Structure 1
């Protein structure tokens, strides 16, 4: 492996966990938090680019998921029509906004390239 691609497996794993977090919120976030803590001073540019952005994106999407659940609880619980509408809006509007950049980042990580997430990736772009 060349020096540029040594962090490639970890970049791929971090982007995969980010995408899993969209389907199963919070559990992959724990894995991303552990990876972020363990590799916070990584010497590989690919890891320093992909891992923090995936972690921040997963935190934001998990926060929105938790907010949607709190809204459901405030509007009458999970048996109400408000729950159905809230989750429909979440899965139709919010998930694609996070899914598309995540898929693009995964493709870039698999090809060993840097990627910049919209809005949150300016600090980590190289």
Structure 2
């Protein structure tokens, strides 16, 4: 059996776990840790770990932009006092955030299995 350190499985699992922690438990702190991990290992990590690090980091950035910017656009056009604005923002946030969490769980499962993973639609190419 392959050594998890050599194959990159351990680092891939850590990357995907930090991605999920950023969404669910410690936003910002887990993102900073993920960025630090990417910066430290982007050139030296085994291919599997590098791929998961790249995916998790890239999708964290794009996901944050999707959630913050598009919610801001809806609020800017709808105004803070309109009830439909808040219905749209909350619905959008729950749907996008839920999809990102679901994809993160798939990514973590793939990392634990030692397999590559590409986040649908917004993930960079493998």
The TM-score with structure 1 as length reference comes to 0.77
Aligned length: 120
In structure 1, what is the Cα distance between the partners aligned to 2:91 and 2:35? 28
Equivalent position of 2:14 in the other structure: 13
In structure 1, what is the Cα distance between the partners aligned to 2:20 and 2:68? 17
The TM-score with structure 2 as length reference comes to 0.77
**Residues 27-76 of structure 1: CA deviation (Å, up to 9, x unaligned):** 32211111110111124122111000000111011112221453466344
Question: What is the aligned counterpart of 1:102 among 94, 101, 104?
Answer: 104
Equivalent position of 2:65 in the other structure: 63
Equivalent position of 2:2 in the other structure: 2
C-alpha change, 1:67 and 1:110, in structure 2 (3 Å) is: same
Question: What is the aligned counterpart of 1:89 among 82, 92, 105?
Answer: 92
Equivalent position of 2:117 in the other structure: 115
Could you list the runs of 5+ residues in structure 1 that have no partner in the other structure? none
